């Protein structure tokens, strides 16, 4: 019996010790959770303090070290929460986290680099030149040269997307006439054409190609390049030709058309696409060193193009021409995607990769080229600048929503 009593006593002691141990573990767990919560609150408070400090002072923001510190704290805070969030998130949230967030994150990095004067105007010009003349053309050429022509050329896709772009171009032109009737200020053919360009020319090169790569992989590149060709033909041939008809009156329609066509032909993006298709059709072999060189430079296209968008937008603001910019943004960001949903199914399956790429390209914001052309002719400059800014801000929501709708994860 004493043994039994000892055993019972020992069992009770063990049970008590177990309960005590569980209580200790629970207390420690709660303490750790409280400490983690306190740490996160401290991080968030620091972020708030940095943001508040950025709004005051001499108007030039924080010193460079604090800016970097703010970015690092936000990034660390994101990493703390990302794994559990991504693991438990539904596909809709994953599409935003895994595709949209990295894309717009790189644009934001370029924007902050410009706003904080880390990179200036000369950097914008240099980066744009690198992307336009080296990175994107070599990415296009290298991909198409190694892709069978039959897998690239899709007349149905080009026709369907061309109808959508041309229709919104004409609608954009008509919107200028509407504003001129309300305001009493005349809108000439050049101003109407530039408004049409702002309403139809999506950022298919700088934003569209990286976005399709992130969303669909290598399979998204060939149809994305076709949309680049179609957009260039509508905007740079038809649009520029209409501008030249007013600006260079008396030159004649044929000469004006040839001049506009020459501008497209010497553009590195359509030119690299055409050369890539020719090399693929001819079956010319690609030496390994050349392949590696193309891949190396082509890999820089997506991040540099996205960073360049943010850098370009960093010194733009909505000063005037808000009526024209709002209408162009409405046509580009709302009407063009809806029109694409209605027209594209007549030419291509929207459940296929080419169909999804075309729909995504139709939902992109106005390209920076709309500002470049306006600046070149010194017409509609502030309106097109505002259109780019408004449509890009709107695209953060609209493109993310479209990625969710297309079930891209």
Cα 139 to Cα 133: distance, rounded to the nearest angstrom: 11
Question: How far is residue 82's CA from residue 102's CA, in Å, rounded to a whole number?
Answer: 13
Contact 188, 262 (CB under 8 A): no
Domain ranges of the chain: 120-405
- As a whole number of Å, the end-to-end CA separation of the chain is 68
Residue corresponding to tokens 């033909």: 233
At residue 202, what are phi and psi to the nearest 5 degrees? Answer: -75, 160
Q: What is the pLDDT of residues 258-303, one digit of tens each?
A: 777 777 677 788 888 889 989 999 988 889 999 999 999 988 988 9
φ/ψ (deg, to 5) at 44:
-65, -40
Give the range among 45-59, 97-111, 171-185 with minimum mean pLDDT: 45-59
Q: According to the model, what pLDDT value does residue 370 have?
A: 87
Indicate if the pLDDT at residue 160 is higher than 90.
Answer: yes
> Contact, 399 vs 211, CB < 8 A?
yes
Range in 72-76, 100-104, 236-240, 284-288 the model is least confident about? 72-76
Among 140, 154, 150, 159, which Cα is nearest to 204's?
Answer: 140
Which CATH number describes the domain made up of 120-405? 1.20.1530.20
Measure Cα distances from 127 to 1, 155, 304, 310, 387 in Å: 89, 33, 7, 11, 22
**What is residue 335's DSSP assignment?**
I
State the pLDDT confidence band at 165, using cuts at 50, 70 and 90.
Answer: very high
Q: Which residue has the higher pLDDT, 188 or 299?
A: 299
The pLDDT value recorded for residue 33 is 55
Note the pLDDT of residue 57: 44
pLDDT single digits (tens) 192-244? 899 999 999 999 988 999 999 888 988 898 999 899 888 888 887 788 778 87
Q: Tell whether the model's pLDDT for residue 118 goes beyond 80.
A: yes
Q: Are 224 and 357 in contact (CB under 8 A)?
A: yes
Res 54 pLDDT > 70: no
Q: CA-CA-CA-CA torsion for 320, 324, 327, 332, nearest 10 degrees?
A: -100
pTM: 0.71
Q: Percent of the chain having pLDDT more than 70?
A: 72
In the predicted model, what is the mean pLDDT of the chain?
78
pLDDT at position 252: 67
Q: Give me the helices (H) in 318-363, please.
A: 322-330, 336-343, 353-362
Please, what is the Cα angle at 362 between 361 and 368, to 5 degrees? 75
- Tokens encoding 126: 């240099």
d(CA 269, CA 274) in angstroms, rounded, equals: 9
Q: Encode pLDDT of 329-378 as tens digits.
A: 999 999 999 999 999 999 999 999 999 999 999 999 999 888 888 887 78
* Cα 295 to Cα 138: distance, rounded to the nearest angstrom: 8
12-22 pLDDT per residue, tens:
444 444 444 44
């Amino acid at each position: 019996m004493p043994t039994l009593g000892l055993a019972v006593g020992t069992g009770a002691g063990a049970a008590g010790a177990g309960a005590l141990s569980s209580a200790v573990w629970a207390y420690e767990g709660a303490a750790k959770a409280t400490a983690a919560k306190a740490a996160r609150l401290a991080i968030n408070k620091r972020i708030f303090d940095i943001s508040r400090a950025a709004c005051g002072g001499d108007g030039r923001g924080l010193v460079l070290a604090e800016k970097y510190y703010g970015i690092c704290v936000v990034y660390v805070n994101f990493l703390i929460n990302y794994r559990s969030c991504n693991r438990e998130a539904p596909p809709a949230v994953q599409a935003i986290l895994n595709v949209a967030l990295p894309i717009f994150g790189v644009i934001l990095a370029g924007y902050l680099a410009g706003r904080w004067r880390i990179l200036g105007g000369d950097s914008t010009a240099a980066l744009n030149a690198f992307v336009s003349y080296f990175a994107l053309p070599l990415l296009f050429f290298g991909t198409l040269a190694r892709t069978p022509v039959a897998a690239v050329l899709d007349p149905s896709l080009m026709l369907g997307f061309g109808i959508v772009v041309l229709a919104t171009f004409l609608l954009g032109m008509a919107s200028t006439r509407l504003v001129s009737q309300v305001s009493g200020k005349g809108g000439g053919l050049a101003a109407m054409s530039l408004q049409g360009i702002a309403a139809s020319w999506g950022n298919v090169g700088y934003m569209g190609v990286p976005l399709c790569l992130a969303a669909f992989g290598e399979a998204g590149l060939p149809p994305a390049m076709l949309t680049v060709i179609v957009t260039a033909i509508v905007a740079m041939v038809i649009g520029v030709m209409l501008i030249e008809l007013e600006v260079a009156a008396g030159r004649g329609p044929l000469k004006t058309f040839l001049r506009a066509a020459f501008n497209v032909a010497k553009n590195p993006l359509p030119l690299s696409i055409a050369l890539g298709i020719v090399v693929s059709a001819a079956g010319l072999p690609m030496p390994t060193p050349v392949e590696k060189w193309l891949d190396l430079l082509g890999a820089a296209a997506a991040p540099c193009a996205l960073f360049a968008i943010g850098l370009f937008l960093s010194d733009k603001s909505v000063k005037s021409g808000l009526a024209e910019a709002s209408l162009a943004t409405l046509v580009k960001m709302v009407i063009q995607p809806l029109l694409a949903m209605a027209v594209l199914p007549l030419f291509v399956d929207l459940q296929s990769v080419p169909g999804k790429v075309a729909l995504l390209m139709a939902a992109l914001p106005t390209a920076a080229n709309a500002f470049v052309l306006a600046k070149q002719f010194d017409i509609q400059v502030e309106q097109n600048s505002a259109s780019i800014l408004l449509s890009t801000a709107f695209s953060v929501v609209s493109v993310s929503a479209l990625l969710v709708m297309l079930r891209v994860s």
